[in-house]
Each structure stands twice: as structure tokens, then as C-alpha cells.
Amino acid sequence: MEELLRVKKTPNEVIKKRPFNIDLVKKDFPILDIKVNGKPLVYLDNAATTQKPEIVIESIKHYYTHENANVHRGLHFLSEAATSAFENARMKVKEFLNAMSTSEIIFVKGATEAINLIANTMCRAGWIKAGDEIIISHMEHHANIVPWQLMCKRNGAKLRVIPIDDNGELILDDFENMFSEKTKMVSVVHASNSLGTINDVETITNIAHKYDVPVLLDGSQAVAHFPIDVQKLNCDFYVFSGHKIFGPTGIGVLYGRTKYLNELPPYQGGGDMIRKVTFEETTFEDLPNKFEAGTPNIVGGIGLAVALKYLNSFDYKDLLKHEEELLKYATEKLLEVEGLKIIGTAKHKVSVCSFIIDGIHPYDIGTIIDTEGVAIRTGHHCTQPIMQRYNLPATARASFSFYNSKEDVDVLVNALNKVKKLFG
Ligand SMILES: Cc1ncc(COP(=O)(O)O)c(C=O)c1O
């Protein structure tokens, strides 16, 4: 594990793959060992945020103990150490996404900031004007609705929405008919946080590109579940948050195609993003610095890179197989609970199960099973239009990660049966 701790300057470094063993994996995450309400924690709220392996926690301590300084500014030893660790972290993210270059990797606060950055700068660049249209889908997180809506309010553009069917799959039959000379952007989620649906983003991108329309993919719920290759996906922008993939909060990534990032204006102004400043005029740094005004979240970037290295220490095939089996097992076991209905039954899903139980409010479900040490999410999951589509106030959602086991599912199902008994 020691080899994972440092973010070294070793592009495409090969880490010896570890065999997947769920008991050993659980031990990598110290928080999974705690008790909640006197019961061992069963953490099933991974779509909200993932837990952090010890190696990530250690990397943060290591940075503040041995390398802390500001980046890109000083010539002293520590500043160079911090800059090198931060820029090597960018290299790790580039490798993780299979981007062409590190200049395509912009560090931001998270997926929300990345989408706001694109919506705002596109608007300021005049790419989207009054009467133009942006296509999103009915299953977007609020983070991929509100920034576009704010932009539309400001400049008179319009949102078009790809509908979803009862299984929670996008209805793409009419997607191509939505395009006209007014269409300026497509922004869709790769995997839905409340339904689990994995969207056919290759088809979406191919159609959009036929009309020369750029595509942003919100990968927040995809990155922790399967490998991402932005060149294969052929998307123009890809965004995700570090905390959804075993890294720290407050750090995220905007991948963008160089030709677009070069054309877009800076999002914010300040230090680190300039070449020359006078009172009359400012010239800006090249990518990626142009979009990173001010002191960045240095330790966040480093922690994220260590999280990616940790993930890369396993064979993805093992993780995929484990999560697929877990989803299948959880779906079967949940459906054995009387009156339980799963919301989101798409053919291709990440390991997310949203559900309702006849006659019991999701909030009651969440509160009661918390007393059994089980952490799930209840509410609208920042996807109110999905709740409106299914005519529901809320759902309960169990979302899994590769550190969850079938035993965790059993504890959840037992806790749900206790809820059922309590409500008669
Ligand atoms: C699909 C999706 N997009 C965007 C976000 C926003 O992420 P953040 O709050 O980390 O910016 C989330 C968070 O739950 C999400 O699930």
C-alpha cells in the first residue's frame, strides 16, 4: 500500500494489481469499522458520497506534514514539492479519463461547479443566445438543470428535455427530432443517481455531433463504478466530483476538449490564471491555468489522485463483477420485502436501488433503519423532476460500492422487515 501513498511523477505507472477480497477491502476503509446506534455501520449511501480508504486519509496528513506550500508561485523547496504533487495529480486524472493532455483537465470544486463553469462561459462567449436551445434529460441531477436554467433566464434560451419511460430509460426515439439550427448544447447524465440507469451516451454523442453540437456528460455517478475513456466516449466535456470516487470533498474535475476550452473565456479572474495584468488590460495563462483562478484545492487534488491510484490497484473486471452480483442480489432480496417496489428498472444500471414501500413514508424507513446502523438516503435525491415523473414525494435509496457485501444487503433487508412489522 505504501507505493500508493505518494503521487509520483511516473506517467502510466503500473501498479501491481491486488486480488479482490471483500474482507480485506473493507479493512482499507477505517470508517466501515465504526458502530452506529450500537450496531456495526452498514453504509449504503455511496451515491451521496463514498467513504475514503486509509491511504487517501494518510496522503492528506502526509501533504500537510511534509509538503504544504502554495503552488505555481515560489521557488523554494516546499513550493516546488507542492506544485509537483499537484501537477502529478493532474497527470493521474488525465490517465484515469484517458484524456489527450493534462491541459484538458481543469480542477474545480466538484461536478456542480464544472457545469456552472461551462454554462456561464458559453453564455458569455455568445455561443448560446436568445431563442437557442439546450437539450438535457428528465433524469438530471439539479446540478445539470439549474445552471442551464439560470443561463436561459439571463439570455432567453430554452431548455428541451429528453423524456424517460416507466423503467427509467431515456426515450431516444425522438431525440434526433429535437435538433435544429437552434440547438447549441447537449448536457446529460452518464448514470442516474436516483434511478441507477446507465445511459447510452455513445448514441447521444454521435447524434449530437452529426449536428455539430457539443456534449457534456455528467459522470458523477459513473466514475466509481466503471472505467471512463473520454476519447472513446467522444464527448466534449466530462465532469465529476472527487468525493464520489473515494477522494476528498471540495475537489472535482472538468475535462474539456482543447478546442472548446481554448475558445471559452475565463470563468473567474484572480491570481494564477493571468500572464500580464495592467489597469487597462489582462492577458490570460494557457490551459489549464486559465480556468483555475486563485489558490486551488491542492490537497484535494492530491487526495483524489491517490484515490484513483487506489482504485487502479484492483483489476476493474473484479470490481465490476462484484458490483453486478451485488446489484442482482440486492434487487432480488429487496423485492422479497412485501409491498416494496423498485423505482428504476433499466436494463443497464449502476448499483443503485431506489424503492418505496406501500403505506410507509421513505423518511420513516430511513429513520428507523438508522437505529439498526444502516445508512441509506431518503428524499428526492436532488432530482425533483424524476419524483414528479413517477408522482412520488420521495424514495428510499440504497446505493452500493465495491466495499459492500451481500451481508450488508441482508442487514438492510432485515431492517426493512422490522420497519414493516412496526407499521403492522
Ligand atoms: C448525477 C449527479 N450529478 C451531479 C451531482 C453534484 O455533485 P456535487 O454536489 O459533488 O457537485 C451529483 C451529486 O449527487 C450527482 O449525483
pTM: 0.97
Q: Give the CATH number, domain containing residue 73.
A: 3.40.640.10
Domain presence at residue 22: no
Closest ligand 1 atom to residue 382 Cα is 14
pLDDT along the chain (424 residues), means of 10: 61 74 98 97 98 98 97 91 97 98 98 98 97 98 98 97 98 95 98 98 98 98 98 98 98 98 98 97 98 98 98 96 98 98 98 98 98 98 98 98 98 98 92
The strand order across the sheet containing 158-162 reads 105-108, 252-256, 237-241, 215-218, 183-189, 133-137, 158-162
Domain presence at residue 32: no
Is 229 in the same domain as 119?
yes
Counting runs of H as helices and runs of E as strands, what totals does the chain give? 14, 17
Taking Cα atoms as reference points, which of 305, 237, 250, 364 lies closest to residue 94? 305
Taking Cα atoms as reference points, which of 235, 176, 168 lies closest to residue 201? 235
Is 299 in the same domain as 347?
no
Taking Cα atoms as reference points, which of 314, 313, 305, 401 lies closest to residue 60? 305
Closest ligand 1 atom to residue 193 Cα is 16
Residue at a domain's end among 292, 311, 330: 311
Spatial neighbors of 409 by CB under 8 A, at least 6 apart, are: 326, 329, 330, 333
Domain presence at residue 26: no
Domain presence at residue 36: no
Is 334 in the same domain as 297?
no
Domain presence at residue 11: no
CA of 155 to the centre of ligand 1 (A): 25
| Model pLDDT, residue 73 | 82
DSSP 3-state of 162: strand
Is 354 in the same domain as 283?
no
CA-CA distance, 341 to 343, in Å (whole number)?
A: 6
Confirm if 21 and 315 have CB atoms less than 8 A apart. Answer: no
CA-CA distance, 105 to 91, in Å (whole number)?
A: 9
Instruction: Convert 206-229 to b/e letters by CB count within 10 Å (16 or more is b).
Output: ebbeeeebbbbbbbbbbbbbebbe
Is 214 in the same domain as 116?
yes
- CA–CA distances in Å: residue 376 to residues 47, 206, 343: 10, 36, 15
Domain presence at residue 9: no
> Measured from the CB, is residue 193 less than 6 Å from ligand 1?
yes
Read off the DSSP letter of residue 198.
Answer: B
What is the distance in angstroms between the CA of the first residue and the CA of the last residue of the chain?
50
Is 139 in the same domain as 266?
yes
Instruction: Convert 52-75 to b/e letters by CB count within 10 Å (16 or more is b).
Output: bbebbbbbbebbeeebebbbbeee
Which cell goes with 116?
A: 456552472
CA of 46 to the centre of ligand 1 (A): 12
Is 407 in the same domain as 385?
yes
Total number of domains constituting the chain: 2
| Model pLDDT, residue 4 | 65
| Model pLDDT, residue 74 | 79
Residue at a domain's end among 311, 331, 361: 311
Residue ranges making up the domain that contains 134: 66-311
CA angle (108, 114, 116) in 5-degree steps: 125
Domain presence at residue 296: yes
| Model pLDDT, residue 424 | 80
CA of 351 to the centre of ligand 1 (A): 16
Spatial neighbors of 410 by CB under 8 A, at least 6 apart, are: 333
Is 333 in the same domain as 297?
no
Catalytically annotated residues: 382
Q: Give the CATH number, domain containing residue 366.
A: 3.90.1150.10
Residue at a domain's end among 280, 311, 342: 311
| Model pLDDT, residue 1 | 61
Is 290 in the same domain as 332?
no
CB-count exposure of residue 37 (10 Å: 0-12, 13-18, 19+): exposed
> Measured from the CB, is residue 257 less than 6 Å from ligand 1?
no
Choose the residue to mutate in 218, 220, 249, 383 for probing ligand 1, maximizing ligand atoms within 8 Å of C-beta.
220
Beta bridge partners of 187: 216
Residue closest via CA to ligand 1's atom 14 equals 48
CA-CA distance, 105 to 86, in Å (whole number)?
A: 12
Is 409 in the same domain as 264?
no
Choose the residue to mutate in 115, 382, 383, 386 for probing ligand 1, maximizing ligand atoms within 8 Å of C-beta.
382
Is 91 in the same domain as 217?
yes
CA of 10 to the centre of ligand 1 (A): 31
| Model pLDDT, residue 16 | 78
What torsion, rounded to 10 degrees, do the Cα atoms 295, 284, 220, 112 define?
80
Is 277 in the same domain as 188?
yes
Confirm if 357 and 199 have CB atoms less than 8 A apart. Answer: no
For the chain, helix, strand, coil in percent to 5 are 40, 20, 40
> Measured from the CB, is residue 102 less than 6 Å from ligand 1?
no
Domain presence at residue 289: yes
